[in-house]
Structure 1
């Protein structure tokens, strides 16, 4: 499987011989068989395949030329940066993979508090430079190795969204190579070479690129983006430990984590509302209980020894631990004030403060998502819902009950209602419900995992009225589309047809899961 000689020659003339390959070994490295969200599920096993060639453009102009060549020869293309999700791999034959790692420019405007980045820049790089200037942004659940541009266009969720807001709100001016190769400048870039502002003349086209979740490369390529940065505090976070046991130590006079136990889940939820009403905190989150076991475990075997100990269901039923991050953004007295407010809230609701390590290895700069995999080998979130907090809590309880029907092969979590948190100073709640499984399990069991992820879960969402942000990643669009909007899939199809009439930008998106179901005999379409 390779490109026609005239296509290869045209691409080589754009990027040079050093930055294009169709060597099967190189192409296999981009085939999808690498760790990441959603890997090892049916999407990867059934659809993902090596590209016909890989090209690494070094500028916006080169990206334009590559996309125009793809249009001329009807070559499907897939843009990638840090390659964290299944959708980064081609899912049709003879596709061109466009690796954007060379577009790695990074500029920071200290005064106006924004950064201008290329898709090759990852969060760890951005935050290292931003924190030196007293600024920060959200590090997503995907980890600090995620591309800043890609993660603002798709997902971008973290407990830090409580204070920093969701990623789509932090997008300012940008350059977009549309699926037909046309260059579109949005925001203030439409008028001058200054991306400081997101709105521009006429309709705000950022909504074409990012709604609830994003296009996963199905709507062309953003080659340059300005993102808003948020004022932080001036003290340095000091690295400690030896890899892989590393952390960032907090300056005690400016940053504090608090773990708090409440008598009931209702008390915990009320505490979250009260914290938001008082506008304190940098993060307010209830994490799955098994994350605490991951943090304590010295090995995979040690995790399972602790996790399968007797009494786990009762422990989780009575475990109501809230995790709160406070930051003295303006001064030490700011932190002291927020601590006093938090203490009053906890006292009123009968909570108890627990011992808490004053360091971070999860969210602030060098977020480590690798630990999510090692107790089973496979992981994917089946749900993320941005709605009211009450909606998220109830949704987690429904899904926990439903999950018992697929355990095993799913990892037992003993009724834990998932990971829920406050976003945007309490104006929204967020639920994420996690699925762990062993990718080396029997074929029948892996098929059951596919059914849970692609059919059972999405049907439950429709039944109880949860809109799942992962709908476009995990759900058949012709199942979920009619249920929400209604018919949001028809609007997506119209947008896709308008901007990508040849359907060559990361096909068959957004109907990936529908394709899987059509191709296999262990999933049934009954809608």
Structure 2
């Protein structure tokens, strides 16, 4: 497999021979899997392939030239930064060009105006440290500090810290987007000048091309530059401690502290989140799955299963934790005030404080984010929603009930309803349901469960963030919006009429259901006999 020789030579003239390759060994390195996010499922086996060539541009101008060459020679391409999102961020058609953006790796922080300008190849870890050195911080999502900051912000970007900070798209400021035909769009204040401090800009807000609640996984162009809003933090250093893999950040307890509370009931658990939001205290307020505690305690997979095997459906049913991160943003006095208010709330609701490590392993720099999920080898957030807090706190129960039908191959978790938390001081809620499996086993049940969750959401009238390319567009489209799929396909056709940018997204999951024999029996919705997209 390779791309056309003329196209290859043209690309080489842009980036130089050192930064383009069709060597099979190099291309094999960009194969999806073998473990990690959404790996080992039917979607990966049916829909992904290795690239025909890999190119590594250095600047926005080089990205534009590469994309224009792809349009000229009809070479499909996919933008790629770290690939952490699994198969959906990899090549889907034969002889596709993978545009690896890791060389766009410069960043510049504006300490005075609280933003940081990054390229596509910049991961969160260095910019988080640089921001904290200057009394600020950024939000790192569950993908971890090794994920591309831009890819995370135009795709997901959630965190327990969203309790105070809110929705991720609000942190996207001035942005440069290379459209699928190679033209450059400057968004926000970059449309009027060189200062990226403002995200809205004149006229319609074009950030909707980048994402809704979630993103389109690279099918509407390539973001090469973005200014990300940073937020004021407290001044004390968070000191790295431990030896890998048992690493953490030691927290200055007078300014940053995790506190866990055992609540007497689900009602008290939810009420506590509302009251904490109403009081406008804390940096994070969340409920996490019980098996995450087993992960945190275990030194290896075997020890995890030894710890987890002691839990029962009854112990899960009666486990109501509220995990609170207190941050003294302005002073130790503010920290003490917040803690006093928190204790008053918990006393009234019957919450009992539990011993908590004076460190953070998960959310400020995500020391354990890549490893903590791999008890089985593969995992996925099968759904996440941003809605009212009252909806978020019951959303996972429906998932837990449906999951029983597909366990195994899904990991047994005794009916745990997943993770939910407060967003925007309780004005919104967030729910996420994660599932785990062994990719070496028969994963048909996982494929079925994933699709059936979309039907369940429609039936139960749950909103879901996993629309667009994450589920069959002709299943979810008519039911949400309604008919949001018609608008999405019109936008795709307008900006990318030959579907050169990451085909067949956003119809990839529709295509998967059509191509995978074991999925066809689940198709009970209407769709065109021929999906409205060019064939590659």
With the shorter chain as reference, the TM-score category is over 0.9
Whether 1:141 aligns to 2:137 is no
For residues 75-104 of structure 1, give each alpha carbon's deviation from its aligned partner in whole angstroms, at most 9, with x where no partner exists: 111001111112121111111000000001
Residue equivalent to 1:22: 22
Residue equivalent to 2:533: none
Mapped to 2, the partners of 1:199 and 1:248 lie a distance apart of 35
Residue equivalent to 2:4: 4
Mapped to 2, the partners of 1:113 and 1:469 lie a distance apart of 29
- Partner secondary structure for residue 277 of structure 1: helix
Matched-pair contact (CA < 8 Å) for 1:11–1:69: yes
Shift of 1:473: 4.7
Residue equivalent to 1:237: 238
Residue equivalent to 2:471: 475
Mapped to 2, the partners of 1:373 and 1:345 lie a distance apart of 33
- Partner secondary structure for residue 8 of structure 1: helix
Residue equivalent to 1:250: 251
CA RMSD of aligned residues (A): 1.0
Matched-pair contact (CA < 8 Å) for 1:58–1:103: yes
For residues 219-269 of structure 1, give each alpha carbon's deviation from its aligned partner in whole angstroms, at most 9, with x where no partner exists: 110111001000000000011100110000001110110000000011000
The within-5 A match list for 1:43-58 is: 43-58=43-58
The within-5 A match list for 1:29-428 is: 29-85=29-85, 86-309=87-310, 312-428=312-428
Shift of 1:472: 3.2
Residue equivalent to 1:526: 524
Mapped to 2, the partners of 1:99 and 1:365 lie a distance apart of 24
For structure 2, which runs of at least 5 residues remain unmatched after alignment?
Answer: 526-536
Shift of 1:3: 1.2
For residues 163-213 of structure 1, give each alpha carbon's deviation from its aligned partner in whole angstroms, at most 9, with x where no partner exists: 122211001101111111001111111111111111222111111212111
For residues 140-169 of structure 1, give each alpha carbon's deviation from its aligned partner in whole angstroms, at most 9, with x where no partner exists: 101110111111111011101111222110
Shift of 1:34: 4.5
148-157 or 29-38, larger mean C-alpha shift: 29-38
Shift of 1:368: 2.4
Shift of 1:37: 1.9
Mapped to 2, the partners of 1:473 and 1:126 lie a distance apart of 30
Shift of 1:20: 0.1
Shift of 1:374: 2.5
- Partner secondary structure for residue 363 of structure 1: coil
Mapped to 1, the partners of 2:404 and 2:105 lie a distance apart of 45
1:366–1:393 CA distance, 2 compared to 1 (3 A):
closer
Matched-pair contact (CA < 8 Å) for 1:35–1:84: no
Shift of 1:371: 2.8
Query: What TM-score do you get using the length of structure 2 for normalisation?
Result: 0.96
332-341 or 405-414, larger mean C-alpha shift: 405-414
Matched-pair contact (CA < 8 Å) for 1:372–1:379: no
Shift of 1:499: 1.0
The within-5 A match list for 1:434-513 is: 434-441=434-441, 443=442, 446-453=443-450, 455-513=451-509
Mapped to 1, the partners of 2:412 and 2:268 lie a distance apart of 26
Matched-pair contact (CA < 8 Å) for 1:378–1:437: yes
Shift of 1:36: 3.5
Mapped to 2, the partners of 1:254 and 1:99 lie a distance apart of 40
- Partner secondary structure for residue 57 of structure 2: coil
Mapped to 2, the partners of 1:37 and 1:468 lie a distance apart of 19
Mapped to 1, the partners of 2:375 and 2:128 lie a distance apart of 29
- Partner secondary structure for residue 372 of structure 1: coil
Mapped to 2, the partners of 1:362 and 1:198 lie a distance apart of 29
Shift of 1:475: 1.5
Mapped to 1, the partners of 2:140 and 2:369 lie a distance apart of 11
For structure 1, which runs of at least 5 residues remain unmatched after alignment?
Answer: none
- Partner secondary structure for residue 182 of structure 2: coil
Shift of 1:125: 0.9
Mapped to 2, the partners of 1:504 and 1:335 lie a distance apart of 53
Matched-pair contact (CA < 8 Å) for 2:173–2:226: yes
- Partner secondary structure for residue 503 of structure 1: coil
Mapped to 1, the partners of 2:339 and 2:21 lie a distance apart of 56
Matched-pair contact (CA < 8 Å) for 1:31–1:49: yes
Mapped to 1, the partners of 2:223 and 2:381 lie a distance apart of 26
Matched-pair contact (CA < 8 Å) for 1:384–1:468: yes
Shift of 1:393: 1.8
470-479 or 234-243, larger mean C-alpha shift: 470-479
133-142 or 311-320, larger mean C-alpha shift: 311-320
- Partner secondary structure for residue 516 of structure 1: helix
